[in-house]
Homo-oligomer: A and B are copies of this chain.
Amino acid sequence: MSLLVVGTLALDTIETPFGKEEYTLGGSATFISTAASYLTSDIRLVGIVGYDFPQKELDYFKSRRIDTSGVEILKDTKTFHWHGVYSTDMNHRDTITTDLNALAKFDPKISDKFAKTEYICVGNIDPVIQQKIISQIEKPKLIMIDTMNFWIEGNPTELFKTIKHADILVVNDSEARLLTGDHNLISSAKKIMDMGPKILIIKKGEHGAMLLTKDNVFIVPAFPLEKVFDPTGAGDSFAGGFMGWIDKTKDLSFENLKLAVVFGSVMASLSVEKFSLEGLRNLENETIMKRFKEFKAITNFKEISL
């Protein structure tokens, strides 16, 4: 088992109705690799940070058996910093500042060892960089790519090139509509799969997630939580849970892809229950399986006949 995770490593300032945390651990690669580390092993992390990135967080990754040899540390600049404020209903967030810092220089050379990885998860970054990363992988078996509205609107030409290489694309519902100009999610999904990805995941926030292939659909709700403390990283935790399960099982049958979506949803739901990475930082298998069983309970119903 081995999974290559490429994305951002950040120090975030986050304000939600429940509090404020400054320069707390964030970034897509942080959530993806940590979530995946509970399901699979030999996770290979590629990212870039500045001189202010805490050594203890690199040590944390190592404690989760995440290989940090692909993390470049720049001595002359700070770490990528995002400051966001969530609305009272948590459904919107405003960006106060985005200090790219080290991220502006992100153009990773994938090591020989890492280039042999077969399962690849590329978080939401510039699609040009996403392409450069993919081109360095020797024989990828499965590439998952995440993106966002910023790139759909800002650089659709390069994004469409990237999407062609994706076996699995992850977008949220508004991004799916933006990509295709089609309001209906199902016909949108078909159009996106015509662009390249055989597997599409549409995240719907508090409404859950949909998994689509040419012939199948699976829909799982978000876990009903009375308090969502911090939605930051929910989508990346989902991607990490999904790819962790896929890398562990190496089974791309639709039945197993469904389980990957459930594990993605499990990790996302655990992540948002606490600030920053705290919801994922120190989990027991028992906690993960308890939540998995709760997902089963809230979605399962009997077969009957009329």
Contacts and interface: CB of A to CB of B under 8 A. Distances in A.
Nearest to A89: B183
A282 B130 CA distance: 52
Interface in A191-234: 204, 206-208, 210, 217-221, 224-228
Given A262-B301, A296-B303, A217 B224 contact: yes
Contact of A306 (B262, B288, B296, B300): B288
A285 interface: yes
Contacts of A111: none
Nearest to A210: B224
Given A259-B302, A296-B301, A185 B224 contact: yes
Contact of A184 (B226, B296, B299, B301): B226
Nearest to A305: B289
A255 B288 contact: no
Given A186-B226, A207-B204, A225-B186, A258 B301 contact: yes
Contacts of A183: 88-90
Given A289-B306, A302-B259, A303-B296, A221 B221 contact: yes
Interface string A148-189: 000000000000000000000000000000000001111100
A104 interface: no
Contacts of A217: 224, 298
Contacts of A289: 305-306
Contacts of A302: 255, 258-259
A42 to B, nearest CB: 17
A226 B261 CA distance: 22
Interface in A262-305: 262, 285, 288-289, 292-293, 296, 298-305
A259 B304 contact: yes
A220 B299 CA distance: 6
Contact of A219 (B89, B90, B298): B298
Interface in A108-133: none
A283 to B, nearest CB: 11
Contact of A299 (B186, B206, B219): B219
Nearest to A218: B298
Contacts of A259: 301-302, 304
| Smallest CB-CB A-B distances: 5 pairs | A219-B221, A207-B207, A89-B183, A258-B301, A186-B226
Given A218-B298, A219-B221, A299-B301, 16 more contacts: A90-B183, A184-B227, A184-B228, A187-B226, A187-B227, A190-B226, A210-B224, A218-B299, A219-B224, A219-B299, A258-B301, A259-B301, A259-B304, A289-B305, A299-B299, A300-B300
